[in-house]
Amino acid sequence: MSVLSDKTIRKFCGVDGMVRRRDNLLLDIQPVSIDLHLDEIYLYGKKRQTATLRPGIFCLGSVIETFNMPDYVVGMVVGKSTNAREGLQIEAAGLIDPGFKGDITLELKNLHHEFDYRLTRGEPIGQVYFMYTDQPVEVPYGLENGNHYQGQRGVTPSYRQSRIF
């Protein structure tokens, strides 16, 4: 499995529309990844554009970038090192399956024991790496596989949210 380079990422995003920004700004393409930028935050049952996470607090967030994954590319969402050094964890569920279409919902938690973490719409929040699969998948991400989040827009709580909210 090879990690895709900036040149290949640009090709897939330009020709195939694999990733685009809903605000129509240019993608922030790095040597082997695309930076992700925070859009909405879902904290204490409300959607917000800014939020302060106290130590140990968890929330959901969405990113401005939206995805249309080919049937032979997988994405891996990881945190930004600056945010991680300040105590923010994001990648609890970081796989973007081949065939996924829609927005990414992040799980955000302030791991710091002493300081609050302020989240603001538009800030770099993570990055996504892309890899080829050895061949196109037989059945891409979607309802045919029992997947629940195909086509999601903005912050999307768990389909089982009644268990926790």
Q: Which residues are catalytic?
A: 107
| Contact call for residues 127 and 33 (beta carbons, < 8 A) | yes
SS3 51: strand
Q: Are 77 and 90 in contact (CB under 8 A)?
A: yes
Q: What are the φ and ψ backbone dihedral angles of 121, each rounded to 5 degrees?
A: -55, 135
CA distance 126 to 138: 29
